[in-house]
Amino acid sequence: MTSRTAATGTATYAVTNAVFIGRSLRLSLRNTEALIMAIMLPVMLMLLFTYVFGGALDPGGNYVDYVVPGIILLCAGFGSSSTAVDVSTDMTNGIIDRFRTMPIRSFGVITGHIVASLTRNLLATAIVIGVALLVGFRPSADVAGWLAAIGVIALFILTFTCLFAAIGLVSGSPSAASGYGFALLFLPYLSSAFVPTDTMPVWLRGVADHQPITPVIETIRGLLTGTSIGNSAWIAVAWCAGILLVAAVWSIRSFHKKAGRR
């Protein structure tokens, strides 16, 4: 009998995840164009809304305080959307078959992309807030308010990242994933991100008030600038938790269903 035993065993669950997270972070850093876009686009939008539209939207000059929470979410949404492309690229490439045939939890590939997206977007958010402070954003929050706001932003990024990961898993190609993801990025425009919803036509206001972005924005705005939050916080958390659950189940199911098919 000439066959030999395996020289090495299996990586632990922790090592597997650490390797995949490291891989995704490295990919994020090397995908320079996407990284620059993820930071530049929200900054440009903020400058656009503050200096170009701001005067017309709010002649008092406080529009920057109103719009920054919306820009943060737009930035987070845009930044997480590249997860769809990253996931889809991996799923349509031969490397996924190698991971799946190794004695490891191969779903770690997706976990890696999710953690990298969270890290990347929290960093981009910090830069956006920094620029906002430079152009006159004057939040009134104390430390607890900031921490709560960062918590809500992180939850939102996680939720959208998981949703984009699921989209990446079900779409047939990276460009299709990018297309589907793009549609979701219109949601912030149909919310209270840029203008209060009571300025919209009644039918649109119904949509804007009852979609997940509005309560999230109202919560962040309230936490940072002291506007009234009401029950937005609970609605925001409920929306995020619900979407997160659906996206997670959807991701795990399609990941296993797609084995051997590319």
* Residues binding other proteins (CB under 8 A): 1-12, 15-16, 19, 23, 26-27, 30-31, 93-104, 259-261
Q: Which residues fall within 8 angstroms of residue 82, CB to CB, at 6 or more apart?
A: 31, 34, 38, 117, 164
* CA-based nearest residue to 114, from 79, 64, 158: 158
Query: Which CB sits closer to other proteins, 17 or 192?
Result: 17
In the complex, least distance from residue 208 CB atom to other proteins, rounded to whole angstroms: 39
In the complex, least distance from residue 83 CB atom to other proteins, rounded to whole angstroms: 15
Amino acid at 249: V
Query: Which CB sits closer to other proteins, 15 or 241?
Result: 15
Query: Which CB sits closer to other proteins, 59 or 260?
Result: 260
Is residue 60 packed enough to be buried (19+ CB in 10 Å), middle (13-18) or exposed (0-12)? exposed
Query: Which CB sits closer to other proteins, 50 or 88?
Result: 88
Report residue 88 as tokens: 């889809």
Query: Which CB sits closer to other proteins, 19 or 248?
Result: 19
In the complex, least distance from residue 174 CB atom to other proteins, rounded to whole angstroms: 12
Neighbouring C-beta atoms of residue 58, cutoff 10 Å = 15
Amino acid at 118: L
In the complex, least distance from residue 261 CB atom to other proteins, rounded to whole angstroms: 8
Query: By the 8 A CB rule, do 78 and 185 touch?
Result: yes
In the complex, least distance from residue 25 CB atom to other proteins, rounded to whole angstroms: 12
Query: Which CB sits closer to other proteins, 175 or 231?
Result: 175
Q: Strand, helix or coil at 195?
A: coil
SS3 content of the chain, % helix, strand, coil (to 5): 75, 0, 25
In the complex, least distance from residue 145 CB atom to other proteins, rounded to whole angstroms: 39
